[in-house]
């Protein structure tokens, strides 16, 4: 597994996951599971810091990681997940993952989100 360290911000409960090295399919699934098992994480939000990492996953593997997350994540799922990357190609894969991760059954939430006045919402 790629090196990962997870800290919980005491004031906010946000998990900060710092990753380095080359991220492959199995690494992505194992890192998500490691986050879910992190003691003291209330499960609200997380920031994945991939600035010291490089993605080595295909678009089909990205879809499979998203599928794994949707099926295995705790209930309720985290409210917000953010990805920080160094390379444009990794940012594009992270965006693709975000699209694949969206649960198509939450139509009302999608309408509410896109209609939000707050651009950061």
* CATH number of the CATH domain containing 12: 3.30.750
CB 66 within 8 A of CB 97: yes
Q: What are the two backbone dihedrals, phi and then psi, of residue 45, each rounded to the nearest 5 degrees?
A: -145, 160
CB 40 within 8 A of CB 9: no
In a domain, 64, yes or no: yes
In a domain, 121, yes or no: no
- At 27 the pLDDT is 92
In a domain, 86, yes or no: yes
In a domain, 54, yes or no: yes
The domain in which residue 95 lies consists of 4-114
Q: How many domains does the chain have?
A: 1
Mean pLDDT in consecutive groups of 10 residues from the start of the chain, 121 residues: 89 93 92 93 91 89 88 87 87 77 62 63 51
The tokens for 18 are: 């710092």
In a domain, 50, yes or no: yes
- At 97 the pLDDT is 78
Q: Which residue in 63, 72, 75, 74 sits closest to 101, CA to CA?
A: 63
In a domain, 17, yes or no: yes
């Amino acid at each position: 597994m790629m090196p990962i360290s997870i800290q919980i911000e005491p004031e906010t409960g946000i998990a900060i996951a710092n990753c380095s090295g080359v991220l492959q399919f199995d690494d992505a699934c194992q890192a998500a599971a490691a986050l879910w098992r992190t003691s003291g994480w209330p499960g609200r939000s997380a920031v994945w810091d991939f600035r010291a990492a490089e993605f080595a996953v295909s678009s089909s593997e990205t879809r499979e990681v998203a599928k794994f997350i949707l099926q295995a994540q705790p209930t309720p799922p985290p409210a917000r997940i953010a990805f920080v990357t160094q390379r444009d190609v990794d940012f594009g894969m992270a965006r693709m993952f975000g699209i694949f991760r969206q649960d198509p059954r939450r139509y009302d939430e999608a309408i509410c989100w896109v209609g939000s006045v707050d651009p950061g919402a």
